[in-house]
Amino acid sequence: MSDPIPVKIVVAGGFGVGKTTFVGAISEIEPLTTEAAMTDLSVGIDDLAQVRDKTTTTVAMDFGRRTVDQDMILYLFGTPGQERFAFMWDDIARGAVGAVVLVDTRRLADGFGAIDYFEDRQVPFLVAVNLFDDAPRHHRESLRDALALAPGVPLVTCDARRDGSVLPVLITLVEHALTRALAGA
């Protein structure tokens, strides 16, 4: 029996879209988080209008692990969402097979930075719309157009709080990355 294949996946997106929750929902280990309390220093920098209950924020990264089966283990690395922490993304993304760009329909524009980042580096990615309870729902093609996604980029929905909703997102990403690798893209 051979050792399982380690697969590094980045979970990225804007501030408050649910990256830490996504990693925590799927991780079979207690996830490593670098959450810090939000302070008055973030006033005017972090827009809390759509995430009023948010009291902490990721200041470095999140880490989780999920065994898919005896052949594959996923290692998840969540990025911080604020622009001031963007300098860490290159280190976090190095060696990743692919990325999940998590978006919130109340703040779609917050996903553009992550989409551009992975497009520019030619890292396979998909966009996962986190279905917040109070967020508007849109048709898939409307979302694809609003996000200016290339035709080959998968667009899926999930509830970042639920393991059973997060796992299919990760499987779709791994399949997408494998398809691209086999095609030489």
pLDDT in tens, 100-115: 999 999 889 999 999 9
CA distance 10 to 23: 10
Q: How would residue 43 be classed by pLDDT, with cut points 50, 70 and 90?
A: very low
φ, ψ dihedrals at 22, nearest 5°: -60, -50
pLDDT at residue 18, as a whole number: 92
Of 2, 44, 21, 45, nearest to 100 (Cα)?
21
List CB contacts of 95: < 8 A, sequence separation 6 or more. Answer: 8
Q: In the chain, how long is the greatest CA-to-CA distance? A: 55
CA distance 11 to 102: 7
* Mean pLDDT (whole number) for 17-42: 79
Q: What is the pLDDT of residues 46-85, one digit of tens each?
A: 555 555 565 555 555 799 999 999 999 999 999 986 665 6
